Structure 1
């Protein structure tokens, strides 16, 4: 079954116009005329066909990979809401991950909130590709999932006790 990688990377709303997805990997040339490329792939866990994050790599056209970082889904809250809603235990293999199996017509990464990942990717790529985000940044709201925040219950007001 497909991971629907093109849709996942589209959800991130990365601003790089010179980019493509091949298989389950995203490739981009964030700055034209520079020999550095960006490669983003899914990181596997110890469980078969289960993914726990993204691996970003800066690749030089002649020298190969020169730097890499792994962004864990748990560390960036990608599946926090989904796991909380489903009461997924932090000690289970499903916590903060997704696998290749999914409901028909739905992505395997259903329930992902990509805001934290996108922010981390922006911070990382700003070091290697300065100005690339400002040059062609799409609307940040386009790839983010809207969530309603429930206000806290009213606390005791002045002169009121519980």
Structure 2
């Protein structure tokens, strides 16, 4: 692959890593897409091995984040409808309050749903904190998968020189 094309792939990977943290777009999949383009164009054992490692890391992280966060929320007794309320208000907040509206809307949505369900402010807030921790866990897992894919790409770059 031409050096300029590798720089473009690297920039797309950086965009994907940012997406894995901010969770506004699918960062892990963007990283995987960039690495896939590099792997296919580079070809050979190195290109295909890097692509395989990246795909396993990103897709494995995608599965793991839902399983682990779901288990965490189930143990804490936070139902899916509370998360749905948080998601809906998060989307509304994204458009109403620039930059921080998504997070504020999510927290407010989960809190209000849990308050309506439990009728106690302390219990509703504890459930909201659990939901925020679960969200943080999913961010870390997705970022870890994207970082492994990025590391595989970096090693692949070194091996193809």
TM-score, structure 2 normalization: 0.31
Structure with higher strand content: 1
TM-score, structure 1 normalization: 0.31
Structure with higher helix content: 2
